[in-house]
Structure 1
């Protein structure tokens, strides 16, 4: 069965971190939808790029979703963190042991919510203070700890996406996509 992923966007999201995941997962034929946590379908990145999302948060049937992704960027991460509806989704996904992926500043949301306690994690340098009681791995591009995947930032976006493909499908598919985009 085709895997389904929801990437959550808020005004001020990091363009590359978000759209790289959409691009790579679609290349792998994973059904990824862009989701606004606001009541507006047009969301603006921290670089001033406006995109029209596929759905609003309250339109998504999360029972059909295999993974959620939280991109970083400022103030996008803070805007994601301030969404009680998104926090409920994160809690449900953790309870169901479903994949939760966060990159750059976004792992701080998971840290503050207590989901990284005694787990390996990484994030954008300077945000590690929010990874409460996590084992911070500053030199790792992508860290998988049970159902939670964290990554460092823009420069690790492709590695992050390829790891998500590996987890959702398999290593062969991830390698195939890496080769097709000339990733060394």
Structure 2
């Protein structure tokens, strides 16, 4: 079974962390919530109890997900265990994904050089490597996936399911996402 870790730091964007956790678990993957503290409070004062505390460099996951939010992404960027874990992950060819402001964490780890990426508008100014693609909901470049922001959390999550060999199309149908998209197209 594929194993995924989602990193939580104080000030994380709730929808960007909990949507992937929910969707990936619905897809049948094992998902661990790893926090810098045992209970982490998000940017909108929602507290989430972690499965584990990130107090060492981790290994053994098929995907690490970095939610954005501020100051959450900045707190991830400043954490040695986060940076070393995602470097190890990416350098071993395993997947790393970042949404919203979290590509600044990828930049801090040196993972965006010669890569295409997207992020919440304005954060590209903090990134000096790679090519920023403003017009994409998400960008997949090798083993790195990035996404725009809170409004793209479902698309981002479905993309992650597909990238891990899951069936996002069935999930979209089960979650009524396709129905929503059809209604939007008709307007």
TM range (shorter): over 0.9
1:129–1:72 Cα change, 3 Å:
same
Does residue 1:28 correspond to 2:36, yes or no? no
Calculate the TM-score normalised by the size of structure 1: 0.93
Shift in Å, 1:180: 1.1
Residue number in structure 2 paired with 1:76: 72
1:130–1:61 Cα change, 3 Å:
closer
Q: How many residues matched?
A: 178
Calculate the TM-score normalised by the size of structure 2: 0.91
Structure 1 unmatched ranges of 5 or more: none
Shift in Å, 1:49: 0.4
Alpha-carbon distance in 2 for matches of 1:138, 1:88: 28
Shift in Å, 1:125: 0.1
Residue number in structure 1 paired with 2:185: none
1:59–1:29 Cα change, 3 Å:
farther
Residue number in structure 1 paired with 2:139: 143
Alpha-carbon distance in 2 for matches of 1:106, 1:131: 11
Residue number in structure 1 paired with 2:172: 178
Alpha-carbon distance in 2 for matches of 1:53, 1:59: 15
Does residue 1:66 correspond to 2:62, yes or no? yes
Does residue 1:12 correspond to 2:6, yes or no? no
Maintained 8 Å contact 1:118/1:135: yes
Shift in Å, 1:62: 1.7
Shift in Å, 1:27: 0.6
* Residue 164 of structure 1, aligned match among 135, 140, 160: 160
Maintained 8 Å contact 1:114/1:132: no
Shift in Å, 1:59: 7.1
Shift in Å, 1:90: 1.0
Maintained 8 Å contact 1:72/1:106: yes
Shift >6 Å, 4+ stretches: none
1:61–1:116 Cα change, 3 Å:
closer
Alpha-carbon distance in 1 for matches of 2:108, 2:56: 26
